[in-house]
Chains A and B, each alone.
Chain A
Amino acid sequence: MTDNRRAFIKKSVALSAYSIIATSGLLFSPEATAKWLPDTTSTPSLQQTLKRLFKDQEIIASDKIDILLPKIAVNGAAVPITVTSTLKEVESIAILVEKNPTPLAAKFELSPDLDPFVSTRLKIAESSAVLVIVETSEGFYSAGEKVIVTLGGC
């Protein structure tokens, strides 16, 4: 009886320690974090990612950004998203998924030869808000859209 209990406690401690490590991102293989944007993709929270990406720039909510995203995604492994904007002089478009372990999905730096139009497919772990931040020569603008995911895709 006592042995059982001891074993159980040991296991549960080990398990919780493991989950803490896993959530803090220490289990990432070194290759994953070594070369590639260590400051932007390995940060766990949305706030930190935003801070590192855009420093302390003011981000203004805008209705000039259109996000085409399904309201309910059956499979979170591939959720199509299309971002268009009527803002002028767009320099970059960043897509972030709020509740993913690493929120930043992609940042597209577009030249003036391109329309502010980006379409791609995202992995979304759970029902979450998707945030789009558009950088123009005048400042940063953001828009968000919620998506309900029935089967997580991570």
Chain B
Amino acid sequence: MSSIKIRTKRKDGKTQIRILIAHPMEHGRNRDAKTNTLIPAHFIQELTVKLNKNLIITAKTGANISKDPFFAFMLKGGKVGDKITISWLDNLGNKDTQVHIV
């Protein structure tokens, strides 16, 4: 199962894109309660959103974004059938991509 959930909502000619990603977003300063060792940093550093092959958002995110991050954006226009591609890359090199059709 993909780690990305995408919802879109059309309203007054605009399209709201809501994104929910399952990710621990560890910043590397928390300690493991059992072993008392530092939990290594593990967070999403880049999020990209494409609309029909055009790159519309590049977000550089740090560990200050909460666990299981949520993002929302507002698209001018947007019509039924548009393809939205969302992908993320974290500091350990993991990545995921998800396609959503409005």
Residues of A participating in the B interface, judged by any CB pair closer than 8 Å: 22, 27-29, 31-32, 34-37, 40-41, 77-79, 82, 97, 100-111, 113-115, 117-124, 153-154
Contacts and interface: CB of A to CB of B under 8 A. Distances in A.
Contacts of B76: 113-115
- Interface footprint category on B: 35 or more
- Give the dominant DSSP class at B's interface: strand
Interface in B53-101: 54-67, 69-77, 91-92
A100 B64 contact: yes
Interface of B: 14, 25, 27-30, 38, 40-41, 43, 45, 51, 54-67, 69-77, 91-92
A115 B77 CA distance: 10
- Give the dominant DSSP class at A's interface: mixed
Contact of B14 (A100, A115, A153): A115
B67 to A, nearest CB: 7
A113 B15 CA distance: 11
Contact of A122 (B29, B54, B65): B65
Contacts of B57: 108-111, 114
Given A36-B45, A77-B66, A102-B63, A117 B72 contact: yes
A121 B91 contact: no
Contacts of B45: 35-37
B21 to A, nearest CB: 11
A121 B66 contact: yes
B40 A29 contact: yes
Contacts of B66: 77-79, 121-123, 153
